């Protein structure tokens, strides 16, 4: 009987042990949540300098993404004849573009080049965590810091240095963009570009030659000498223009590093079909100008329907034409006159009405040719210059340093009068060299008559040590009939 009781006890004991083990396993085994799903093997992130972006994520699954970012302090050109010591992420301003997707686990390696002089860190607005990564990434020259974060929210986000004084580090160029795409990626487009605005504060005024250093007083007063796209004046003009073809869709990832100014981003001659407001999930449509705060971003998308050069500006417009916030998108392809005709008619506008511009005359009186002395034409040309040319080229033809070329003693004008006539007739954009200095800006065509063009050019040629060429209306008419080059 005793043996039977012992056998029963042993059986119950075994059952009890099994139950304890099962309960223990149940308590210690983690639930199958999204955060604990094993990711595929590691992927090295493709980082690109502006204006290029890495290829879309498309349908790739959430991954362990390795980002290798190096901080470099380096001298670069701000504008022709002016250099600046930029502090950069990846050797460019803005820093390298980072492209991720929702659910990615990012292993971020921040390296501070041993030749640098200062410690730096990184605050990514896409990071949910202390300082956006800044508290984990302060790194001295010659060292490396590693931290991890998970991409929890889709959108286009700014990153920047957050080492004290924070404003100075950002003002020296330490900012960039990180994109977190949704599952399945963004809708496909034909072209994608990376554009980021920043304001710079230098000891010297705009265009003052030589190496310039950061001016803290100007930065505190929020009075920048330069407001530029992609780190310098002319970064998106001349040989560096963005390109597309008629019929293509274009997506611009646009950021604003600040540190101070808000951007009113606009593309002259285009309308944004879709705008991801402040880089988020809310989409606005049919937008002319979109507001991008300092430390913010936007995604703008549009289809290019006609050829031409479309001008990117901060529509706080003096920043564009006087401080550098200007770029170009060159679109090639066939014209569509049903969308944009170009000039179809040119005539004289008489605001008072055509009936009171002159005394009645005999209909049979033959029309007299315009006859004026050279002095009278020069006087007329001076008046035309004052109301059309003076804002850009100034009262003594000196131009605006590094923005608009001088007309005074201009080798560009004196070498080729026909080229000067065509410039006034058709406008001019792109890089030109005047008196051994390079300029890259835009001159619109002037809505002047043949006589007015002849008079104003005669005035310019007669002034400021130019070669006194007498430009006639016949010379203007001859260039009008020739095909535009």
| Structural domains in the chain, sorted by start | 43-332 (2.60.40.420), 371-480 (1.10.760.10)
- The set of residues, in sequence order, having a beta carbon less than 8 Å from that of 436 and lying 6+ positions away, is none
Instruction: Give the span between the Cα atoms of 407 and 399, in whole angstroms.
Output: 7
- Does the annotation flag 174 for ligand binding? yes
Q: Which helix (H) or strand (E) is 357 found in, with range?
A: none
- Does the annotation flag 113 for ligand binding? no
Q: What is the pLDDT of residues 415-429, one digit of tens each?
A: 999 999 999 988 887
- Does the annotation flag 161 for ligand binding? yes
Q: In degrees to the nearest 10, what's the CA dihedral of 162, 166, 168, 174?
A: 20
- State the pLDDT at residue 95: 98
Instruction: Give the span between the Cα atoms of 307 and 246, in whole angstroms.
Output: 6
| DSSP-derived 3-state class of residue 475 | helix
What's the token pair of residue 67?
Answer: 């980002």
Q: What is the pLDDT of residues 121-163, one digit of tens each?
A: 999 999 999 999 999 999 999 999 999 999 999 999 999 999 9
Q: What is the pLDDT of residues 226-253, one digit of tens each?
A: 999 999 999 998 889 999 999 999 999 9
- Does the annotation flag 266 for ligand binding? no
- Does the annotation flag 168 for ligand binding? no
| Helix, strand, coil distribution of the chain in percent, nearest 5 | 25, 30, 45
- Does the annotation flag 109 for ligand binding? no
The gap from C-alpha 176 to its chain's centroid, in whole angstroms, comes to 12
- Does the annotation flag 315 for ligand binding? yes
Q: What percent of the chain is modeled with pLDDT above 70?
A: 86
Instruction: Give the span between the Cα atoms of 19 and 482, in whole angstroms.
Output: 98
Report how many helices (DSSP H) and strands (DSSP E) the chain contains, helices first. Answer: 11, 23
Q: What percent of the chain is modeled with pLDDT above 90?
A: 71
Helix 450-462 and helix 473-481, axial crossing angle in degrees, nearest 10? 120
């Amino acid at each position: 009987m005793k043996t039977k009781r012992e056998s029963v006890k042993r059986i119950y004991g075994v059952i009890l042990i099994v139950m304890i083990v099962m309960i223990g396993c149940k308590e210690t085994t983690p639930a199958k949540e999204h955060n604990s799903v094993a990711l595929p093997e590691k992927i090295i992130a493709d980082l690109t300098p502006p204006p290029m972006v890495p290829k879309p994520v498309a349908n790739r699954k959430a991954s362990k993404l390795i980002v290798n970012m190096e901080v470099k302090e380096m001298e670069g050109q701000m504008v022709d004849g002016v250099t600046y010591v930029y502090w950069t992420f990846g050797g460019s301003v803005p820093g390298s573009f980072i492209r991720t997707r929702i659910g990615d686990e990012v292993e971020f390696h921040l390296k501070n080049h041993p030749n640098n002089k200062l410690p730096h860190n990184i605050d990514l607005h896409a990071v949910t965590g202390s300082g956006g990564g800044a508290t984990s990434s302060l790194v001295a020259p010659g060292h490396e810091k590693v931290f991890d974060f998970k991409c929890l929210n889709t959108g286009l986000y700014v990153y920047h240095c957050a080492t004290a004084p924070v404003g100075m580090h950002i003002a020296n160029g330490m900012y960039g963009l990180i994109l977190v795409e949704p599952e399945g990626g963004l809708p496909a487009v034909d072209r994608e570009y990376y554009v980021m605005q920043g304001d710079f504060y230098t000891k010297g005024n705009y265009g003052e030659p030589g190496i310039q250093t950061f001016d803290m007083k100007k930065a505190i007063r929020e009075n920048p000498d330069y407001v530029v796209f992609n780190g310098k004046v002319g970064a998106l003009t001349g040989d560096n223009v963005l390109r597309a073809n008629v019929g293509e869709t274009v997506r611009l990832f646009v950021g604003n590093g600040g540190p101070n100014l808000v951007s009113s981003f606009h593309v002259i001659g285009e309308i944004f079909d879709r705008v991801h407001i402040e880089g988020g999930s809310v989409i606005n449509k049919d937008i002319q100008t979109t507001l991008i705060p300092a430390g913010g971003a936007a995604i703008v998308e549009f289809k290019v329907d006609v050829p031409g050069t479309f001008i990117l500006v901060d529509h706080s417009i003096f920043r564009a034409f006087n401080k550098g916030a200007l770029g170009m998108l060159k679109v090639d392809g066939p014209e569509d006159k049903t969308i944009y005709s170009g000039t179809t008619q040119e005539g004289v506008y008489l605001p008072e009405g055509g009936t009171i511009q002159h005394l009645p005359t005999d209909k049979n009186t033959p029309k007299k040719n315009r006859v004026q002395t050279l002095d009278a034409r020069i006087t007329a040309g001076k008046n035309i210059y004052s109301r059309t040319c003076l804002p850009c080229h100034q009262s003594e033809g000196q131009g605006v340093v590094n923005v608009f070329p001088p007309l005074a003693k201009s080798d560009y004008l004196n070498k080729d009068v026909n080229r000067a006539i065509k410039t006034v007739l058709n406008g001019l954009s792109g890089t030109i060299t005047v008196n051994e200095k390079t300029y890259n800006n835009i001159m619109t065509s002037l809505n002047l008559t043949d006589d007015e063009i002849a008079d104003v050019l005669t005035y310019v040629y007669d002034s400021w040590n130019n070669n006194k060429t007498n430009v006639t209306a016949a010379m203007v008419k001859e260039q009008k009939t020739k095909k535009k080059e």
